[in-house]
Amino acid sequence: MSPQSPHLWGPHLSQIETGDNVNNHERQYYTAGNNNAAARLNTAGKFTQTYGHVEARMKVPRGQGMWPAFWMLGADIGDVGRPASGEIDVMENVGFEPGTVHGTLHGPGYSGSGGIGAGYTLPGGEAFADKFHTFAVDWSPNKVTWSVDGTVYQTSTPADLNGNRWVLDKPFFLILNLAVGGYWPGDPDGSTTFPQRLVVDR
């Protein structure tokens, strides 16, 4: 995906997921309909990609319990399941860290809290919710590099996996979602205001 593909999340290339995610102890329930189009979208069965530059320019929500994410799953997940399908988290942000985003790889032997990743923190105490930022990965055989606004902050290769299997050499589909609550961000509290939005302009 590149900046020349601005309509990726249109109805022709994405689908709206519904339901909840009890595995992560999240509190939202994704509903159908275009009014809720930023809840959770994926391109499974409509668009996959192997390697390349993948980016989105977004303004994340603000507040305790917010968990926006832009990520990718191996298109063979229906056959092999997780974590063998592989996962590339382009960007995750949790509300209690307003100035930090995380980029992470998951696969067999490095999934869940054992994912291989790093965080990027904005300078000067800025929050990601203050304005739009561009989150990207450059993905090639045996290498994934993460950046924010063009600044590279992490590169991972099979050498980082402690002998575990690299499963990132196949088609992946894209996911864009805003979760509320969960084991990592924790629940919203009295300081959290609603509604909150994950705004994507490309």
Query: What does the CA dihedral 147, 167, 67, 46 come to, rounded to 10 degrees?
Result: 90
CB 146 within 8 A of CB 162: no
Instruction: From 147, 169, 185, select the one nearest 55 (Cα to Cα).
Output: 147
Nearest to 92 by CA among 114, 77, 72, 75: 72
- What is the C-alpha to C-alpha distance for residues 44 and 73, in angstroms, rounded to an integer? 9
Judge contact between 126 and 102, C-beta under 8 A. Answer: no
Residue 15: DSSP 8-state: E
Is 10 exposed, middle or buried (CB count within 10 Å of its CB: 0-12, 13-18, 19+)? exposed
Q: Are 37 and 66 in contact (CB under 8 A)?
A: no
Catalytic residue list: 87, 92
Q: Which tokens is 113 given?
A: 């809290």
Degrees, nearest 5: CA angle 184-185-188? 145
